[in-house]
Amino acid sequence: MSKRRSRIAVTIVAALITGAVVAPFAHGGDTTVETKNEFGVSRTIHVGGFPVNAEGNEFFLDLGVNGRRCVTCHQPDNNMSVTPASLQQRFRDTGGTDPIFRTNDGSTSPLADVSTVGARRQAYRMLLTKGVFRVGISIPATAEFELIDVKDPYGYAGRNDNGNELSLFRRPLPTTNLGFLSTVMWDGRETLQKGSAAGLHFDLSHQANGATQGHAQAPLPITDAARNAIVAYEMGLFTAQVYDKRAGALTAAGAAGGPDILATQSFVFGVNDPLGCDPAGAACNPALASFDPVVFTSFAAWSGARDKARAAIARGEDLFNHLPINIKGVSGINDDFGVAVVTGTCTTCHDTPHAGNHSVPAPLNIGVAEPPVPGQESGRGVQNRFGLPVGDMPVYTLRHKVSGEIKVVTDPGRALVTGKWKDVGRFKGPILRGLAGRDPYFHNGAAESLRDVVNFYDTRFELNLTEQQKADLVAFLRAL
C-alpha cells in the first residue's frame, strides 16, 4: 500500500473511532514531544490536531478525588507510561506524596504504613523498583479452580476481607499507538467488543471510566463526553524511537523508523494472524492462515550497511523476522491446537505489521508468571526457572476443582477474568514500538533491560543465541 493510501486508511479509522473527521496530520510545535532515553531519543506525535500535552483534554484533568489523572501514570516523557527512574525522581521531589503514590493501588498493600518518608519508600517499593501497580482481583465464584495457598511478602493477598482479593503487580501499558490494538489490558479484561474499530472505541471508553473510578477513586462514573474526549486524544498518539546514539537518525539512508511513518500504516483486525483466527479471536483454523513472518521492515535498507551500528539493527530485524523458534509448552498455542512443537519465529506471536503485538485477542502463557525457584539467587534477587527476578512477587497455588491438578504462579492472568483453568498465566503481548523509553518489560516489570528480555527468550525457547545475535536483537528492539 502506498504511503498516501495508508495515510488515508489511518484517517478513516481515526474518524470512525472518534466519530468525527480528524484534523490533517501535523508536524512540529506542541503536537510533538521528544524525549531523551538511554539509547537516544524517542518522539511522540499526535495526528488528530491535539497537542501531545493537551492540558485541556480530560486525559489531563482531575476527574477523581485523590489527585490522580490519566497523565499521572501515562506520561509523554515516558512514552506514555512511567519508568522506575522517573518515579524515583517524583518520590525525591515530593517525599512520596505525588499523586501517583497512593495506597489504593500504588503500595504493596492498601494497609501499608505511609506516615513517614521512610515508610512510604518501603510501601511503594514495587512501584519505585519495577514500575508496577497493585491490581486487586478476586477469583470468580464460578471459576474452574480454587486458591489453596498464597505466599504474599506483603501480607495482604488472599488474607483480606475484600472478596479474597489477590494482589497482581502489573506495569501500566502505554497509551500510544493504540490504533494497532486488539486487546485492552494485559489480561484482556477491558476487551468487551472485539474485532472492530467501533469495538475498540467502546473498550477504551469503558477502560477510561474504570481507570478513573479505580486508580483516581472517582465516586461516580465519568460522563460519556469525558470518555469520548479521552479516547479521541489517546487514538491520535504515536510513539517510536527517532534517534539512536550509535546509528544516528532512524530515518537516514532509507530507514523507516520513527512515529511519523508509523502513523501512516494501516491496521486490520486479524491481519497476518498465523493461527487463522477471525478478527475477534473467537474461531481459529490454522489451515486458513495467511501469515508472512516479515512483520518489521523499517531497517531493511540498512542491510549490509558499512556503518556497524546500522548493520546491527538490520541484522536484528532480520533475526526477529526469520530466526527459527521451536515453540513448545506455550499455553494458548500448543495446548489449544494440540501440537507439541510449532516451528515459528518471533513474529509468530508478534504478528501485527510494523507494531509487533498480536492482531487478534490471543493471550499466551510463555512462563513470565512462573514462581521463583528455591536456590536461584542472583544479584537481582530470586529468579524463576527462566531467569526472571520474581522473588518480590506473591505466589499463588491454584487447584482445579475437578481434576485436582495444581498450578503455581505469581499472577493467574487471564484466568481471573474468565475463570478458566486453561487461562492461568496467560497474558497478551504488547505493542513493541517505543520500547527504549518505557522500561522495564513484561507485565510484571521483571525484565529490567532489553538484554534481559532477549536472555529470557533465549533461555525459554533454548535458542542458543550467540553474543552477536543477542546484541543485534537488542539493537533492533531499542530502535523501535
Q: What is the pLDDT of residue 20?
A: 30
Local structure of residue 33 (DSSP, 8 states): E
Asked if residues 291 and 360 have their Cβ atoms less than 8 Å apart, the reply is no
| CA 384/CA 54 separation, integer angstroms | 42
Task: Return the number of other C-beta atoms located less than 10 Å from residue 293's C-beta.
Answer: 17
Helix (H) or strand (E) holding 130: helix 125-130
Nearest to 199 by CA among 270, 275, 295: 270
Asked if residues 422 and 164 have their Cβ atoms less than 8 Å apart, the reply is no
- Quick check: helix, strand or coil at residue 467? helix
Local structure of residue 195 (DSSP, 8 states): S
Q: What is the pLDDT of residue 424?
A: 98
Q: What is the pLDDT of residue 65?
A: 98
The two counts, helices (H) then strands (E), for the chain are: 14, 13
Provide the CA 422 distance to its chain's centre, in angstroms: 22
Task: Return the number of other C-beta atoms located less than 10 Å from residue 24's C-beta.
Answer: 10
Nearest to 349 by CA among 364, 331, 370: 364
| CA 72/CA 225 separation, integer angstroms | 21
Strand partners, 141: none
Q: What is the pLDDT of residue 14?
A: 41
Q: How far is the CA of 1 from the CAs of 30, 83, 178, in angstroms?
A: 30, 36, 21
Give the torsion through C-alpha atoms of 456, 461, 463, 464, to 10 deg.
Answer: 70
Asked if residues 270 and 194 have their Cβ atoms less than 8 Å apart, the reply is no
C-alpha cell at 436: 527504549
Q: What is the pLDDT of residue 173?
A: 98
Residues with Cβ within 8 Å of 223's Cβ and at least 6 positions away in sequence, in order, are none
Q: What is the pLDDT of residue 16?
A: 34
Q: What is the pLDDT of residue 147?
A: 96
Give the amino acid at 287.
A
User: pTM for the whole thing?
Assistant: 0.92
Asked if residues 446 and 388 have their Cβ atoms less than 8 Å apart, the reply is yes
Helix (H) or strand (E) holding 243: strand 237-244
**Ranges in the chain, pLDDT < 70:** 1-29
Provide the CA 116 distance to its chain's centre, in angstroms: 33
**Angle at CA of residue 318, ends 175 and 447, nearest 5°:** 45
